[in-house]
Copies of this chain bind each other. A is one copy, B any other.
Amino acid sequence: MTELEQYIQSYFGVSSDNLMQISELFHEEEIKKGDYFLHTGKYCNKLSFIKNGMLRIYVTTAEKEVTQWISTKGFFVTDLSSLVFEQPARWTIQALANTELYTIQKSDYQKIGQLIPQWHALEKLFIAKCFTMLEDRIFSHLSMSAEERYQFFFAQQPELFNQVPLQYLASMLGMTPETFSRIRNKNRI
């Protein structure tokens, strides 16, 4: 089983005879550090798994740049509202490092539902899972201080803290780089 098939299996629990059908629709793609996967306002017509590397999902407002999320190895990446509802992309997505992707084009993505009858049901579960992760994140903003959010997130993804420019982590957690730096220092052994 290829790495891609393992990811699809673990996210969607597809049976192994279907796995190959799906994974054949993906192709490998590389994005160099600094290059863009997607620009705000464009239409997102693909969905990718990260084989290795990192992508930052952000948006530029009048005052500042807001990092919404950083995706790493094993994660999905797309602009869901653009892919699914054909709307202009909300997010800009840029590679923080040289990144290899398994990518499926929208047209092929839409074919999966015909190939595999239970696909939509599995996909629904996947998106529902993503939904609950966002619920957790909102909860963290309703009930935690900056330091608590730091610890909550660090517990979930400690690897990220060594690999990602800290200013982006700070933004993603809803605090300034200075505050992030101080908290980080305090929490270092």
By a beta-carbon cutoff of 8 Å, the part of chain A in contact with chain B is 59, 61, 63-64, 66-68, 80-81, 84-85, 90, 113, 118, 120-121, 123-125, 127-132, 134-135, 137-139, 141-143, 171-172, 174
8 contacts between A and B (CB under 8 A): A64-B143, A80-B128, A80-B132, A85-B125, A85-B129, A123-B124, A134-B137, A142-B174
Majority secondary structure, A binding face: helix
- Check B80–A139 contact: CB distance below 8 A: no
CA distance A142 to B176 in the complex (A): 10
| B84/A143 in contact, CB under 8 A | no
Residues A90 and B143 in contact in the complex (CB < 8 Å), given A127-B124, A128-B81: no
